[in-house]
Amino acid sequence: MSKDTLPFDWKAIRRDVLEQIQSGQWKPGDKIPREIELAAHYDCTRSTVGRALRDLATAGFLERRRKGGTIVAANPTRKAPLEVPILREAIRAAGSEPGYRLLQAGPERAPEEIAAKLGLPPGGELLHVLALYLADGAAHQIEDRWLVPAMVRGLDPDHLRSQPVDEWLLHNAPLTRAKIEIEAIALPAGLAHHFDQPAQSPSLLVTRVSWRQSKPIGLLRLYHAAGQRLKTGI
Amino acid sequence: MSKDTLPFDWKAIRRDVLEQIQSGQWKPGDKIPREIELAAHYDCTRSTVGRALRDLATAGFLERRRKGGTIVAANPTRKAPLEVPILREAIRAAGSEPGYRLLQAGPERAPEEIAAKLGLPPGGELLHVLALYLADGAAHQIEDRWLVPAMVRGLDPDHLRSQPVDEWLLHNAPLTRAKIEIEAIALPAGLAHHFDQPAQSPSLLVTRVSWRQSKPIGLLRLYHAAGQRLKTGI
DNA sequence: TAGTGGTCTAGACCACAAA
DNA sequence: TTGTGGTCTAGACCACTAG
């Protein structure tokens, strides 16, 4: 452990403990000193040590149990945060000029598969929205959305000509829970012409089903232009 | 706000404040009461309120600034945690029996593209590992890894016949930073026959470059069988 | 410059799980 | 049973920044 006697705030303690782990001084499965002992070592109170260790536990580096003490996690499965952004904002953040074109918006009988994923009985009508997002004028993503009417009351389909539906949803029907799936597909011919790319091009499809509490809001299928990548990191 | 006078611990306060936000009582951009005021309302100290609000700020629901106060985030960009698991563990967690077969392991001149992504001068030799992961006997993923020899000293290529390289790395060369990219590709013929799938099938490719501090450890390309999906949620 | 959140202390009691 | 982390209090000082 560091022998510095400089001021140890909780971030410094976190850094120091993480260093013990990543340098291999404390190995996976090892029990580390008790909070009180670390507090004495760092010359601070147990609360301050506790905050540092709690943070490392949340990040997956430590496992803590009452009476059992704190051990270095055996399998520190890291999590990479995958952003679920506002579509136009994501394009702008990537340094491109965002564009948006509504292709279609209106009630439609839900395909059985869609209804099933939303946990709804088949045969009902949903609001079907189809829109194109552009980056610097080139087709970038196609949004295929099925929304539960009762959950999006006040949404005027005409209004979607100028404002993307995700921006309306953000302020009017925020989700509390979502399931996300990422898969590779061959670009369907019906969509490929929007992208000005050959049909069957391998491309990413992100499917998201969202709920508010336990009530389904809708299902989104976001088709990406071929070659587009999702990026994240640790 | 809830008028309950039952014991309010910090989780209850977090829940209550989140409820204000998600129900629309407090809208994006709104300034919420100061910590002291909330402490009075919940009949607790500022520390307890602070912990609840800090947690919500970390999750992206609030933005906090000294003197400026706490406001409801305007664009609560949600983050879905994408796991970076031990490959065999992920297969087991999905309910399948994991299998593993080493295809190749040895030093090899690094392709220029690989060296560039690692920030290394071209022409050097890297340790090239190719391995197949199976789920219930069926090919599931192909791991194509290029490792910097200096960062994986002590790694015995023979040993990789029984233990996957990611399990060795976890305990011997843990990463501190990684960049991850997810893309859709047409399955190359050379890999398709391992998967017993047609070449050109659309499939997911996850590329990960990892560092220890600022030194590159290696590059992983993880090819997924066609039809396989990445799943996450909020 | 004044007001807000960020952090720390010194103590206390409690919940949980290991011995 | 008992030791450990989890939480809370009442107070204090500080860092940042909006007005």
Tokens linked to A65: 């149990």
Tokens linked to B154: 């002590």
Using CB atoms within 10 Å of the CB of residue A81, give its burial: 0 to 12 exposed, 13 to 18 middle, 19+ buried.
Answer: middle
Cα of B120 vs its chain's centroid, Å? 25
Are residue B153 and residue B208 in the same domain, yes or no?
yes
Of B52, B79, B106, the position where a domain reaches its end is: B79
Residue B18 · residue B56 · CB < 8 Å: yes
The CATH number for B99's domain is: 3.40.1410.10
B34: the nucleotide nearest its CA (via C1') is C4
A57: the nucleotide nearest its CA (via C1') is D5
A67: the nucleotide nearest its CA (via C1') is D4
* DSSP helix/strand/coil, A9: coil
Per-residue pLDDT at B124: 94
Per-residue pLDDT at B227: 93
Contacts of B81 (CB under 8 A, 6+ apart): A79, A80, A81, A82, B232
Record: contact B81-A86, CB cut-off 8 A: no
Cα of A145 vs its chain's centroid, Å? 18
Domain-embedded: residue B161: yes
Are residue A69 and residue A103 in the same domain, yes or no?
no
Mean pLDDT computed over A175-200: 94
The CATH number for B47's domain is: 1.10.10.10
Residue B63 pLDDT grade (very low, low, confident, very high; cuts 50, 70, 90): very high
Residue A78 · residue A234 · CB < 8 Å: yes
Tokens linked to B88: 């065999």
Record: contact A89-B79, CB cut-off 8 A: no
Per-residue pLDDT at A171: 85
Residue B77 pLDDT grade (very low, low, confident, very high; cuts 50, 70, 90): confident
Are residue A142 and residue A66 in the same domain, yes or no?
no
Tokens linked to B118: 């690692």
Are residue B175 and residue B96 in the same domain, yes or no?
yes
Are residue B115 and residue B161 in the same domain, yes or no?
yes
Distance CA(B223)–CA(B205), nearest Å, equals 5
Query: Under the phi-then-psi rule, with left for phi > 0, alpha for psi from -120 to 50, and beta for the rest, what region is A229?
Result: beta
C19 C1' – A58 CA distance, angstroms?
27
The answer to whether A46 CB is within 7 Å of strand D is yes
Are residue B47 and residue B107 in the same domain, yes or no?
no
Are residue A101 and residue A201 in the same domain, yes or no?
yes
C10 C1' – A64 CA distance, angstroms?
24
Chain A residues inside the 8 Å CB shell of B186: 202
Are residue B152 and residue B206 in the same domain, yes or no?
yes
Distance CA(B119)–CA(A182), nearest Å, equals 29
Chain A residues inside the 8 Å CB shell of B54: none
- The answer on pLDDT for B47 being more than 80 is yes
C10 C1' – B60 CA distance, angstroms?
33
Mean pLDDT computed over B190-209: 94
Record: contact A226-B184, CB cut-off 8 A: yes
The structural domain count of chain B equals: 2
Mean pLDDT computed over B21-29: 92
Residue B121: count of CB within 10 angstroms of its CB: 9
Chain A residues inside the 8 Å CB shell of B203: 184, 202
Query: Which amino acid, residue B94?
Result: A
Residue-by-residue DSSP string for chain B: -----S---HHHHHHHHHHHHHTTSS-TTPEEPPHHHHHHHHTS-HHHHHHHHHHHHHTTSEEEETTTEEEE-SS--EEEEEEE--HHHHHHHTTS-EEEEEEEEEEEEPPHHHHHHHT--TT-EEEEEEEEEEETTEEEEEEEEEE-GGGSTT--GGGGGTS-HHHHHHHHS--SEEEEEEEEEEPPHHHHHHHTS-TT-EEEEEEEEEEETTEEEEEEEEEEPTT--EEEE-
The answer to whether A153 CB is within 7 Å of strand D is no
Q: By residue range, what is the domain housing residue B191?
A: 87-224
Containing H/E element for A46? helix A46-58
Tokens linked to A48: 């301050």
Mean pLDDT computed over A142-163: 96
Of B29, B49, B79, the position where a domain reaches its end is: B79
Averaged confidence pLDDT in chain A: 94
Contacts of A53 (CB under 8 A, 6+ apart): A14, A17, A35, A38, A62, A64, A70
Per-residue pLDDT at B98: 96
Of B36, B60, B79, the position where a domain reaches its end is: B79
Domain-embedded: residue B159: yes
Residue A128 · residue A219 · CB < 8 Å: no
Which of A180, A204, A233 faces B80 most closely, judged by CB atoms? A180
Are residue B189 and residue B91 in the same domain, yes or no?
yes
Residue A6 pLDDT grade (very low, low, confident, very high; cuts 50, 70, 90): low
Query: Under the phi-then-psi rule, with left for phi > 0, alpha for psi from -120 to 50, and beta for the rest, what region is B200?
Result: left
Are residue A116 and residue A45 in the same domain, yes or no?
no
Mean pLDDT computed over A102-116: 96
Unique residue bearing structure tokens 């140890």: A8
Domain-embedded: residue B65: yes
D10 C1' – B45 CA distance, angstroms?
8
Per-residue pLDDT at A7: 72
Q: What is the pLDDT of residues B32-42, one digit of tens each?
A: 999 999 999 99
Using CB atoms within 10 Å of the CB of residue B82, give its burial: 0 to 12 exposed, 13 to 18 middle, 19+ buried.
Answer: buried
Per mean pLDDT, which range of A57-71, A198-212, B70-84 is the poorest? Answer: B70-84
Unique residue bearing structure tokens 């047409």: B186
Per mean pLDDT, which range of A4-8, A134-138, A150-154, B161-165 is the poorest? Answer: A4-8
Q: What is the pLDDT of residues A154-171, one digit of tens each?
A: 999 999 999 999 999 988
- Candidates A141, A143, A116, A118; CA nearest to A129 is A143
Per-residue pLDDT at B4: 47
Domain-embedded: residue A118: yes
Residue B217 · residue B152 · CB < 8 Å: yes
Torsion sign over Cα A120, A122, A126, A129: positive
Distance CA(A127)–CA(B186), nearest Å, equals 34
Per-residue pLDDT at B2: 52
- The answer on pLDDT for B1 being more than 70 is no
Global pTM value: 0.91
Per-residue pLDDT at B76: 83
B87: nearest CA partner in chain A? A77
Per-residue pLDDT at A4: 46
Distance CA(A89)–CA(B104), nearest Å, equals 44
Distance CA(B149)–CA(A20), nearest Å, equals 24
Domain-embedded: residue B4: no
Residue nearest to nucleotide D11 (CA to C1'): B45
- The answer on pLDDT for A11 being more than 50 is yes
Contacts of A46 (CB under 8 A, 6+ apart): A35, A36, A39
Q: How many CA atoms lie within 13 A of B174 on its CB side?
A: 23
A124 vs A127, A143, A228, B31, B145, CA distance in Å? 10, 21, 34, 41, 49
Domain-embedded: residue B143: yes
Answer with the residue of higher pLDDT: B2 or A149.
A149
Tokens linked to B82: 């994408």
Are residue B179 and residue B129 in the same domain, yes or no?
yes
Are residue B28 and residue B44 in the same domain, yes or no?
yes
Domain-embedded: residue A44: yes
Which of B183, B202, B229 faces A186 most closely, judged by CB atoms? B202
Domain-embedded: residue B232: no
Which of A79, A84, A231 faces B234 most closely, judged by CB atoms? A84
Per-residue pLDDT at A75: 81
